[in-house]
Structure 1
Amino acid sequence: MKTQKTLFLAALLAGMTLLFACGQSNGGSEADTAASAPETAAASADVDPEAKSDSKGIGKFTNVKLDALDPAMAAKGEAVFTAKCSACHKMTDQKIVGPGLLGVTKRRTPEWIMNQITNPVEMAAKDPVGKALLGKHLTQMTFQDVTDEQTRQLLEYFRKNDSK
């Protein structure tokens, strides 16, 4: 009986951890989120989150230069993705918690992608595409504490996935 309780508590803790990791991290309560949801939906009603956008987003990345695909950097990006992103995203068009990422480099600028990874809360609050994505998926992307270098590696992994 004690083993069953221990297993139940461990499973409960793991489930709560996953929900916390993929849920909101903006410090607001559910009531705060519910109160702002209509505002977010209204602000993003005219933006199609699936459409191509040339926006650079909001954050420190304003000019990302891309060279030929770097396979070694993409491999590092895949490892970062597996560790930090795969609980909520797939590299296909399948939605889990967040949207599938297939074709993301065709729809978004490198700057937007890197700003979304490193500045997701402000992007959801102020960027029209970020607002539209939040309105569609109803879950705030959380900051995963990735470095600028890891963010660039993720971008390279996305580029490799989209080049297939």
Structure 2
Amino acid sequence: MKKTFVYVAFSVALLAAACGGNNQSASKDNAGSSTAASDEKKPSENPSYDPKRGEGKFTHVDVAATLDPKMADAGEKVYQLKCSSCHKTTDEKLVGPGWKGVTSRHTAEWIMNFVTNTDEMLNKDAAAQAQLEICLVRMPNQNLSDDDARHIYEFMRKNDGVK
């Protein structure tokens, strides 16, 4: 029994370490940057909750009809570093849900608010709570920059077949 407890505790600590992390080398590239509520309000003053955009500072994200390959490549690097241990690019669940089709189910604002404001989204958003009930594991805060979030979204679009 004691060995099982130690094994479980070690596994949980290992998973938290693998999924967590501080992004010290956040990209300062403003290409394709999004318009956040910080343009109109202080960052601590988020607009009222909207289920289509979720809870967070992203109120409008400019998304081109075609893929930005540079952003998608940057997003793939972030995915490999911070996301791939829990998410597959298929519809298969790993620890968290698979990413296939996610850009058709959620808006850019919702996805970017979720990856940058995970705890608040899990506390307030019905769609995020439904995923939590399926996966049974809260996504840890990955400390993603706004640019990282935008790049990941573009990688998700590439994964969903946007050309």
Q: Is TM more than 0.5 here?
A: yes
2:90–2:99: 8 Å Cα contact kept in structure 1? yes
Name 1:116's counterpart in structure 2.
Answer: 114
> What is the CA–CA distance in structure 2 between the aligned matches of 1:101 and 1:110, rounded to whole Å?
13
Note closer, same or farther for the CA distance 1:62–1:149 as it changes in structure 2 (3 Å cut): same
Q: Post-superposition shift, 1:22?
A: 6.8
Name 2:56's counterpart in structure 1.
Answer: 59
Q: AA paired with 1:103?
A: G
In structure 2, stretches of 5+ residues that fail to align are: 1-6, 21-50
Q: Return the index of the structure with the highest Cα Rg.
A: 1
% same residue? 46
1:89–1:100: 8 Å Cα contact kept in structure 2? yes
Q: AA paired with 1:98?
A: G
Name 1:95's counterpart in structure 2.
Answer: 93
- 1:26-65, aligned counterparts within 5 Å? 55-65=52-62
Q: Post-superposition shift, 1:21?
A: 4.0
* Equivalent position SS for 1:62: strand
> What is the CA–CA distance in structure 2 between the aligned matches of 1:101 and 1:76, rounded to whole Å?
17
Q: Post-superposition shift, 1:89?
A: 0.3
TM-score by length of 2: 0.70
Q: Post-superposition shift, 1:17?
A: 3.9
Name 1:147's counterpart in structure 2.
Answer: 145
Q: Between Structure 1 and Structure 2, which shows a larger proportion of helix residues?
A: 1
1:22–1:88: 8 Å Cα contact kept in structure 2? no
Q: Post-superposition shift, 1:131?
A: 1.2
> What is the CA–CA distance in structure 2 between the aligned matches of 1:13 and 1:138, rounded to whole Å?
17
Q: Post-superposition shift, 1:136?
A: 1.5
Note closer, same or farther for the CA distance 1:134–1:21 as it changes in structure 2 (3 Å cut): farther
Q: Post-superposition shift, 1:55?
A: 1.3
Aligned residues: CA RMSD: 2.4
Q: AA paired with 2:151?
A: Q
> What is the CA–CA distance in structure 2 between the aligned matches of 1:162 and 1:109, rounded to whole Å?
13
TM-score by length of 1: 0.69
